[in-house]
A and B are shown apart, each in its own frame.
Chain A
Amino acid sequence: MSKSLGQVTTAGKVIIPLLLVILVVGPIATYLLATVAGPVIMDVLNSNLGIVRFVVAITGVLLFSIPAAFIIIYMELKVIAFMNLRIGPDRVGPKGAAHSVIAGLKVLTKEDFSPNAADRTVFTWAPVIVFLTSVMTFLVIPFGPGLVGAKLNIGVLYLFSVGGMSVVGLLLAGWSSFNKYSLLGGLRAAAQVVSYEIPLTLSVVGLILLAGTLSVDQLAANQAGWFTNWYVFRQPLGALIFFIAATAEANRTPFDLTEADSEIVAGFATEYSGMRFGFLFFAEYVNVFIISALMTTFFFGAWNAPFPFPHLTVALDPGSLGILLPIAIAVGPLLVTLALAVPFWLIRTKAPAWQALLGGFALANLLAFGAIGLLTYISWDWVAGLIWFFVKSFMFVFVFVWMRGTFPRVRVDQLMGFAWKWLLPAALLNLFVTALAIIVVKSL
């Protein structure tokens, strides 16, 4: 024992006794936790449900933002690669799927450098503001029926006020770096975001007039039923203005002047490295998801399916089978596999039997998972809502990636002229026409 312990490394000498301790202490602690502490904890949680709900919602959105950003970064790399007839990332994971995760880990290990002349405090806090304002927006987005962090009755106003705060972070990031490119990037960000916020907000006012509510959750619920109920069919101009202005708000191509790498290096992010840069980068992709989700929520039916779906509660009671249940569990899969293997064997008699069995097994699994999926989709409306919400949102994410792969960047004067001379009058026109239509319809 002592001899074999002498052969392990120093780290091993620490870990092996620790493992033994954990093996002994773990079960005892679990038992105590379940019997003694469990009821007390549940009692405390139940009596403070409001606070618990808030904490859970905040943790949820914070955690959700990470995979969302990873998926969108990977999607952007891969989709643009295909559009450019390249392969794109293909080293880590199947088809390079883990690429963005590894890139994120790499950013964590990099040196956290700040320039000599930088304003250290502001330099440190700017990425935090940018990231925080992005993630805070998630709090009122309804992911499915009932799946919303906070049901604010001023949800739309909250969205725009929090979204407008991110520009403070960008401006500070640009200023505190003490670098002319960064400052230019920050100033561009401020000018652009403040200008485009006006048409962005005005484009939704028509929608609010129609819906008669400021709650995002209620807006989503209003669009139930057939897809003709979606607000895009009643507010097409508003949807278009919102789409364009949101693209500018998120600093995406063709409005990515804030970090135009051919003009001002990387804009406000030039001097950032390590995880601070990671936060800025992350926030950008979280923003892409947010504007896609908002497009979906405001104009494309939120979590509603495009057609009314029968909501059934399938009452399965496996316990009533009695002794037959274990037999069915034991024999059922085998019988199904064999039954599904028969057609494979009949089609290709020359193939060996194990290939037919393998085909049958695969088919049985496919059917089983399909059945389970269908069952969950039908019985829980929040599962269906979640699926539809993500399908629609990622469709818009794809559109944004597509735009990045296709469009050239606009000039600064074109950017400003477009916002004030075209988008703003169009948004006002949309508002007036909507108001007029509502009055006319009401007086009829």
Chain B
Amino acid sequence: MTLPATIPLLGFAWDDLLFMTLAGIMILCALAVVGMRDIIRSGLAMIICFAALAGLYVLAGAPVVAAAQVLVYIGAISVLVLFAIMLTQTKDAPRALVFQTQVVPAGIASAVLAVLIAITVAATDWPTAGARLWTNTTELAKTLFADFTLPFEVVSVLLLSAVIGGVFLAKRERGAD
């Protein structure tokens, strides 16, 4: 007696149920990120959002991307964001939101992004896209370091310049103060 292939009453596969759960969590948390009043809690919702996205990656058969997502976005970026907020913000700060003054530009930006993504989704030939799935780390490495070496290197140069720029901005001028 195995589990039935589809869920008895609803009639869709277990994978789909998992996908819907994760996607639902993601959407709810994304709304919470922009809607909540406490900025730290917004950050927490962002972490949950990232975790759900990692789950989606696993579901899509890309565990390497999922692990990188958790390692980089949750373990490093979110922590640094929270770290910076905690250093600058106290609980005595005004409860009213100070960072939602750019609602209109943000709305325009997200609308444009949504349209772009919709166009891309419509233009993609999904069956062939599903066929070139790289779950194997060796395959992924070959693709990344043989076929796409130049973009990879350009991205690393970009990151390096960002790091140098950050150091330059953070560097205190000697004798300035």
Contacts and interface: CB of A to CB of B under 8 A. Distances in A.
B117 to A, nearest CB: 26
A193 B82 CA distance: 14
B34 interface: no
Contact of B71 (A153, A160, A193): A160
A191 interface: yes
A164 B75 contact: yes
B68 A43 contact: no
A135 interface: no
A187 B76 contact: no
A194 B137 contact: no
Contact of A187 (B2, B83, B137): B83
Given A43-B1, A187-B87, A161 B63 contact: no
A165 B68 CA distance: 12
Interface range on chain A (Cβ under 8 Å from partner): 20 to 34
Nearest to B83: A190
A178 B89 CA distance: 12
Contact of B63 (A152, A160, A190): A152
Interface range on chain B (Cβ under 8 Å from partner): 20 to 34
A183 interface: yes
Contacts of B79: 167-168, 171, 190, 193-194
Contacts of A164: 70-71, 74-76
B74 A168 contact: yes
A146 to B, nearest CB: 21
Interface string B53-79: 000000000011001101100111011
Contact of A157 (B2, B67, B82): B67
Contacts of A214: 137
Nearest to A215: B137
A51 B136 CA distance: 23
Which 7 pairs, one residue from A and one from B, show the smallest C-beta to C-beta distance?
A: A164-B75, A161-B71, A161-B70, A157-B67, A47-B2, A161-B67, A190-B83
8 contacts: A117-B91, A122-B41, A154-B67, A157-B68, A167-B75, A190-B79, A197-B75, A197-B76
Interface of B: 1-3, 38, 40-41, 44, 47, 63-64, 67-68, 70-71, 74-76, 78-80, 82-83, 86-87, 91, 136-137
Interface of A: 40, 43-44, 47-48, 51, 117, 119, 122, 152-154, 157-158, 160-162, 164-165, 167-168, 171-172, 175, 178, 183, 186-187, 190-191, 193-194, 197, 214
Given A153-B137, A164-B71, A168-B79, 6 more contacts: A44-B1, A161-B70, A161-B75, A171-B82, A190-B82, A194-B83
